[in-house]
Structure 1
Amino acid sequence: ALARQVVELSGASSSFENVIPAFVEQAKSLFLPTNPDLGRQFNEVGDQLKAEFQPRVNELIQGIAIAYAQRFTVDELRRIQAFYQSADGQKLVRTIPSIMEETFGRSQQWSQIVTRDIVARFREEFAKRGIRL
């Protein structure tokens, strides 16, 4: 229970609020191209399935809580809980989504540059061997 509270205080549980709607939309996109005339019905069923499957997010949150409980002692979890309840902890929870978004963008850009550089080096090394890629 303490581990689950830590997960909730950390903001991790709220980050999964849109997972089920995204999965439903993804599933709808599998069917809509071949059944475009059923768009309204897919929306209706999609709304029904979102409500039906949303409680299953608790399964994921419980799994995360178990992972916390396995890795931290009760005393450690209490200190983590206290941190998340502090002003600094609350600021971290509010700020993490924007940091993650920025980090994602930067990591995509970085990976493209590094991949480009690796491809260039492959070409250079194979050129030294008389092989043109």
Structure 2
Amino acid sequence: MRTARARGAVFLLAPVALIAAFSAGYVSAEGQKPAETGLLAARELIVVTGASKNFETVVPMMVRQLEPLLLQMAPGKDKEIKEIMALMVERFSQRKSEMMEMIAGIYASKLTEPDMKDLTEFFSKGAGAAFIAKQPEILTESMTAGQQWGQKIGMEIEQQIREEFKKRGIKI
């Protein structure tokens, strides 16, 4: 059985491995890096759709996930750990351009440059811009609705499992 410290080391190394994999740069399945003009179109699309704003939350989220484990591994060092975590957020948030390049490579490998330009134009005005403006609200309400639905379905599933167990004479 692993000790808490060993589990902690594995937990701490997983994000590092993920970051290392991303920092290698994006290469398409065909082994070719997308053209610079395609990457530029992809970056513009990422910015206009607001997807780049999501990059702002990645590092703080990773750090928040590590903090409880570190607090458990070093009891009584709360202040120092919080200071170090703040330093890590500051230090690694500066590297969000790496994520932009990775995501731009994916966009450029999946969409044509003309399509990305058309999408950028669409999302820059009219209905596209209105959609982007309302998207955070839509996502928040959709997540709430999804959670409510999941809870409702979960309770129904649990009830029906209990009924099936009862029918078969299984006590739980």
TM-score strictly above 0.5 = yes
**Amino acid across the alignment from 1:28:** E
Aligned twin of 2:129: 90
Answer yes or no: is 1:10 the counterpart of 2:30.
no
In the alignment, structure 1 segments of 5+ residues that lack a partner are none
| Cα distance change of structure 1 residues 36 and 66 upon mapping to structure 2, 3 Å threshold | same
- Would you say 1:23 and 2:58 are equivalent positions? no
RMSD of equivalent CA atoms: 2.1
**Counterpart check, 1:46 vs 2:85:** yes
Matches within 5 A, 1:1-133: 1-33=40-72, 35=74, 37-133=76-172
Q: Distance in 2 between matches of 1:48 and 1:121?
A: 50
Which region of structure 1 is more displaced relative to structure 2, 40-49 or 1-10?
A: 40-49
Report the AA paired with residue 52 of structure 1: R
CA deviation map 1:69-114 (0-9, x unaligned): 1221112111101011113222222211121111111111111111
Q: Which moved more, 1:61-70 or 1:11-20?
A: 61-70
Equivalent-residue separation in structure 1 for 2:68 and 2:158 (angstroms): 34
Structure with the bigger percentage of helix: 1
Tell me which of the two structures has the higher relative contact order, counting C-alpha pairs closer than 8 angstroms and 6 or more residues apart: 1
Q: Secondary structure at the match of 2:51?
A: coil
Question: Please, what TM-score do these two structures have when normalized by structure 1?
Answer: 0.83
Q: Which amino acid aligns with 2:146?
A: S
Q: How many residues align?
A: 133
Q: TM-score, normalised by structure 2?
A: 0.66
Deviation readout 1:3-59 (Å, 9 max, x if unpaired): 121011111110221221222233222222454543333233223211211133223
